[in-house]
């Protein structure tokens, strides 16, 4: 990792010399640029099309198709998509699931990673495998037993109005935490291995306990990795709709991605309205991506490179 990608990994030496010796190959790049620009356009086109469709009245596209010159452009569909699908409520639902989900996942995963890679506990590798393998299982394998289990776990009324774990946010949160922990442990353990062991040793000599070594010494050094994982996990949990589909039955509790399905049921033919809805739903993750791009990309790559 170097250049853009590694700005968030300050513990490794800067990779400035790598950028330098690249001059002779700079010529004759036009082909490459045309190719990359073409690919970029092809990748962006579907998104742009959705935005374009959402700005035009349905009658117009019904007559001329989506690929035609616009006569009227307005944000009317965005207003309608937002109000008619009750999207505000669904956004809240998603946040109620994603925010605690991300925080708990990161906290638990970072401690496991710390124990595995910093304390060098015996059996650490087994633990690491235990979590990583769990993350790679297909979701559908665990669906049925969880469905049955959640239906049988009673919760008091102040935690869930369905009085069971089923049809409550708790179910979706806990499944997300359990499932995503594996990935976070894997990435964080790899990251923590790159931290200098001396820092920890100095702390141990000063008599720091396990908690202090973790919370006060290791975790602050992991801030870039945590930021990366936080943004990544947020988009993943935000985008998920399988768990909600299965564990939530009350339509009022669905997260925002599944609300699109509702919109589709009600306004089956009005694709422009649906396009506006999709753009609105996609907006938060795209914004998070654009704002936190560096962290985001670093997060994906932290686990993949061996220091």
Partner 1 sequence: MALNIPRRAGRRRLRRFTRRDVVVLGVLLGLPVLLDIVIIWGPTLASIGLSFTAWDGVGDVHWVGGDNYKNLVENYPAFWPAVRHNILWMLFLGLVATPFGLFLAVLIDRGVRFSRFYQSVIYMPVVLSLAIVGFIAQLILGTDQGVVNTILNNDENPIDWLGDSHLNLWMIMLAAGWRHVGYVMILYLAGLKSVDPQLKEAAAIDGANERQTFFRVVFPTLRPVNVIVGVITVIEALRAFDIVYAVNKGRNGLELLSVLITDNIIGEASRIGFGSAIAVVLLTVSLGFIVTFLVQELRGARDR
- Exactly one of 47, 103, 159, 202 binds partner 1 (CB under 8 A); that residue is 47
d(CA 266, CA 251): 13
Q: How many residues bind partner 1 (CB under 8 A)?
A: 118
- Exactly one of 103, 159, 163, 300 binds partner 1 (CB under 8 A); that residue is 300
- Exactly one of 165, 175, 188, 192 binds partner 1 (CB under 8 A); that residue is 175
Residue 83 in contact with partner 1, rule: CB under 8 A: no
Residue 237 in contact with partner 1, rule: CB under 8 A: no
Q: Least CB distance from residue 188 to partner 1, whole Å?
A: 12
Q: Least CB distance from residue 222 to partner 1, whole Å?
A: 15
Residue 288 in contact with partner 1, rule: CB under 8 A: yes
Residue 202 in contact with partner 1, rule: CB under 8 A: no
Residue 199 in contact with partner 1, rule: CB under 8 A: no
- Exactly one of 16, 28, 69, 122 binds partner 1 (CB under 8 A); that residue is 122
Residue 92 in contact with partner 1, rule: CB under 8 A: no
> Using CB under 8 A, which of the segments 80-88, 147-155, 158-166, 218-226 binds partner 1?
147-155
């Amino acid at each position: 990792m170097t250049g853009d990608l590694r700005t968030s990994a300050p513990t490794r030496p800067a990779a400035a010399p790598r950028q330098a010796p690249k001059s002779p190959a700079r010529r004759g790049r036009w082909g490459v640029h045309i190719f990359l620009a073409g690919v970029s356009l092809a990748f962006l086109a579907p998104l742009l099309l959705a935005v374009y469709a959402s700005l035009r009245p349905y009658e117009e596209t019904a007559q001329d198709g989506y690929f035609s010159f616009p006569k009227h452009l307005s944000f009317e569909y965005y207003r309608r998509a937002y109000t008619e699908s009750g999207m505000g409520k669904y956004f809240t639902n998603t946040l109620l699931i994603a925010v605690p989900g991300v925080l708990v996942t990161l906290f638990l995963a970072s401690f496991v990673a710390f124990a595995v890679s910093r304390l060098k506990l015996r059996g650490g590798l087994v633990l690491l495998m235990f979590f990583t393998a769990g993350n790679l299982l297909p979701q559908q394998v665990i669906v049925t037993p969880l469905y049955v289990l959640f239906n049988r776990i009673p919760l008091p009324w102040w935690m869930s109005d369905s009085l069971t774990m089923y049809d409550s946010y708790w179910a979706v949160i806990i499944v997300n935490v359990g499932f995503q922990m594996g990935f976070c442990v894997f990435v964080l353990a790899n990251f923590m291995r790159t931290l200098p062991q001396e820092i920890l040793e100095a702390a141990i000599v000063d008599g720091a306990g396990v908690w202090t070594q973790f919370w006060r010494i290791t975790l602050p050094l992991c801030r870039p990795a945590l930021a990366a994982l936080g943004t990544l996990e947020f988009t993943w949990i935000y985008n998920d709709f399988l768990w909600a589909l299965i564990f939530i039955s009350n339509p009022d509790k669905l997260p925002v991605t599944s609300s699109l399905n509702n919109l589709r049921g009600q306004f089956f033919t009005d694709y422009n309205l649906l396009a506006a809805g999709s753009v609105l739903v996609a907006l938060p993750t795209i914004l998070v991506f654009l704002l936190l791009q560096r962290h985001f990309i670093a997060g994906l790559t932290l686990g993949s490179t061996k220091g």
